[in-house]
Chains A and B, each alone.
Chain A
């Protein structure tokens, strides 16, 4: 059944995608503002609700999400990318889906929903940092092309079977574009999404966001249950240290209210939580950090010393845990951090 999204649903939807960001994915404020002028209400189609042959694209902002809060994207950031993809593939896109169903990118396709049918499926189901971690690439769906802005109106189009090349070439283009750019993946159909994508991200985000807002006055201890997750602990951030071997990894020490030592391991998302040295949760489980007092959903860089936080684990999207070769791509060891994969 297609779902109709009212403008009033936007805050809850944004909150839900923030929760799915696992501490990454970027803040949704900018997209919420961009969508104020959208052609509300918008329709979200389930994968089964569209013709499987419909050519589809996925859109997202990539690079520094922090940068996007300072350097505001243009009015139609994806137009040139979609045009390039359509020129290359020779077909007009009929549908759009999120590339990353979390953070600000959960809302990104809504900017295109006026002219393309919005499909409720995405390639991550949570926030992940790398383009070679797209479900479409992991399942090696053939014929895909990736288009990326390289700054000053330039466009880079990559067609390859090696997902790692997409990641490194797009990274290069993003650096050229100044740190953040739009990315569009094309060359697949709605039918490909049936098997090779995480479904019902909008449904999940809306449910989570609504439950989160409804629990605004409820005690923290109840919040995890209402979100369908489990409470990992609450406490005060005591230290934030960079990992000695990897400048992009950080370890956040939280002194739990019950005296335990909680240790968060994070890159651009929170990847694992240890309680007194034993693993409590790890990627692809979604680890949410919430400011205990303001109930703000925190990004990794918001975990600053002396902040009191609550840690909640939400179940991983089932798509990732279905097969070992999929799981292998998103456990902490896929991020170069050993010893933290759930047994």
Chain B
């Protein structure tokens, strides 16, 4: 017989009847034929093929007495067999295993000898049957409902019996039933439609995945010890499984986008109606695992320029898996909003750890997205969740123009002034401020600086004059003119506060629109 079978291929075969080496088994051993018998006396002498390279499969257990085991090993080896597979081969004692090693008889345990015999036949002669078997099992796994792509891969790997991985040139995207060794991944050729590789670490049969949304994907079945016959059969199985995987990628993408939109709506609802209790909304939040009880640390990642929020969401979700806290994240506006939840009040060190994890997340995100990140303070309960998210949103607003902090701002680290500014800098206040100070800006813009400085110095003429290097009379004249132009009475505290804030907001917005060209903090489309 010209065909051969090797131990590693048999061990890699999914339906090998629970084959396991016990002693003297070298995976590289090659056998020419396989003989099945109920007992040792049923084995033909000199092996079936005459060649001194056969595997004997017995359906009975080894004898119990050590000398009987010795004698069995000796007789089977004397009959010309190189390996013996039988149920409960673990019963062979230490001495008998030494003897097996000495005479060169591999001892293998097998739970189901007939399954092993069938596996041997498939690998030796029934190659089409092997392929067909794999294809049929692929078809069976498609038949069952899969929750997502990962689930589909799990089904495929479980029913085919080998590991499966969805890969691109960078690495493994998803895998099931094992870990694709890096060396195997590196050896895979992404060019051809079908590719089979074998390196020391393992083997893989891969096929190009024809997906409209993701280019350069391959679907690979992998394992260790697979021989050429098995790889060829698995390549066919991969071809058959590929369309299902490609379709699933598309379906999952649609479902994910839809889900993200639903989650975004829900969070918006929650933040807008924070004071009203809505049982239905609370139920929907619970369904998503959003518990409002406990302690929360909000964060918001916004694009400094246009970013694909959905891709950002995916990235953040993936990275958050490594953060040791219950985390949730949804798309919201130009970025994503999320929070970490703790059941018990987190220790300061724990909070610092979470913040530094978020900072690493931010740093990682900045490699692919132009984003700024704000982090809120730790708050508790349902109201606290809304508060910390609001805080995070404020911090993010500030972070957008804070290159000095690496576009990362934590609200706890903000000054009161920054907080105030973050409030006054919003879309409604700035136009109001501009219209309040309109007469001043249009007719005597130089008075704005004097007025601001005057208000900053507690309406003190002398202090303002010193600060601006002007004469006191000049200052009094300018203030009087400004009051006239504005038509406001600055001795009224309410008025003074409004004018003071307006001056700050107008100057800040003027400063940021001239100093920053790439970022527009008020969300105007660039």
Question: Does B associate with A?
Answer: yes
- Which of B96-104, B190-198, B426-434 contacts the other chain? B96-104
Q: Which of B68, B78, B95 is A261 in contact with, Cβ under 8 Å?
A: B95
**Within the complex, what minimum Cβ distance (angstroms) separates A307 from chain B?**
16
Q: Do the beta carbons of B98 and A261 come within 8 Å of each other? A: yes
Chain A 107-166 residues near chain B, CB threshold 8 A: none
Q: Which of B67, B78, B93 is A274 in contact with, Cβ under 8 Å?
A: B67
A232-253 CB contact bits vs B (8 Å, 1 = yes)? 0000001101011100010101
B246 at the interface (CB under 8 A from A): no
**Within the complex, what minimum Cβ distance (angstroms) separates B93 from chain A?**
7
Q: Do the beta carbons of A241 and B67 come within 8 Å of each other? A: no
**Within the complex, what minimum Cβ distance (angstroms) separates B10 from chain A?**
25
B64 at the interface (CB under 8 A from A): yes
A238, B98: Cα distance in complex, Å = 11
A5 at the interface (CB under 8 A from B): no
A308 at the interface (CB under 8 A from B): no
Residue in chain A with minimal CB distance to B105: A277
Q: Do the beta carbons of B102 and A274 come within 8 Å of each other? A: no
Q: Do the beta carbons of A340 and B67 come within 8 Å of each other? A: yes
B71 at the interface (CB under 8 A from A): yes
The 8 listed contacts between A and B (C-beta, < 8 Å) are A243-B65, A243-B66, A244-B64, A253-B94, A261-B70, A263-B66, A263-B95, A278-B74
Contacts of B67 in A (CB 8 A): 251, 263, 265, 272, 274, 339-340
Q: Do the beta carbons of B70 and A274 come within 8 Å of each other? A: yes
A265, B67: Cα distance in complex, Å = 7
| Chain A residues near B (Cβ < 8 Å) | 238-239, 241, 243-245, 249, 251, 253, 255, 259-261, 263, 265, 272, 274, 276-279, 337, 339-340
A337, B68: Cα distance in complex, Å = 10
Contacts of B68 in A (CB 8 A): 339
Q: Do the beta carbons of A278 and B102 come within 8 Å of each other? A: no
Q: Do the beta carbons of A244 and B65 come within 8 Å of each other? A: yes
A238, B75: Cα distance in complex, Å = 23
Known contacts A251-B65, A251-B67, A339-B68; decide if A238 and B95 are in contact (CB<8 Å): yes
B72 at the interface (CB under 8 A from A): yes
The total of chain B residues at the interface (CB under 8 A) is 19
Q: Do the beta carbons of B70 and A241 come within 8 Å of each other? A: no
A343, B73: Cα distance in complex, Å = 19
Q: Do the beta carbons of A239 and B65 come within 8 Å of each other? A: no
A106, B68: Cα distance in complex, Å = 33
Q: Do the beta carbons of A259 and B71 come within 8 Å of each other? A: no
Known contacts A260-B102, A261-B99, A263-B95; decide if A277 and B71 are in contact (CB<8 Å): yes
Chain B 70-98 residues near chain A, CB threshold 8 A: 70-75, 78, 93-95, 98
A239, B99: Cα distance in complex, Å = 14
Contacts of B99 in A (CB 8 A): 261, 276-277
**Within the complex, what minimum Cβ distance (angstroms) separates B74 from chain A?**
3
Q: Do the beta carbons of B65 and A277 come within 8 Å of each other? A: no
Contacts of B103 in A (CB 8 A): 276-277
A245, B64: Cα distance in complex, Å = 7
Residue in chain B with minimal CB distance to A244: B64
Contacts of A339 in B (CB 8 A): 67-68, 71
**Within the complex, what minimum Cβ distance (angstroms) separates A279 from chain B?**
7
Q: Do the beta carbons of A239 and B94 come within 8 Å of each other? A: yes
Q: Which of B72, B74, B93 is A276 in contact with, Cβ under 8 Å?
A: B74
Q: Do the beta carbons of B95 and A239 come within 8 Å of each other? A: yes
Contacts of A243 in B (CB 8 A): 64-66
Contacts of B102 in A (CB 8 A): 259-261, 276
The 5 closest A-B pairs by CB, nearest first: A277-B74, A277-B70, A253-B95, A251-B66, A244-B64
Q: Do the beta carbons of B66 and A253 come within 8 Å of each other? A: yes
**Within the complex, what minimum Cβ distance (angstroms) separates B98 from chain A?**
6
B135-168 CB contact bits vs A (8 Å, 1 = yes)? 0000000000000000000000000000000000
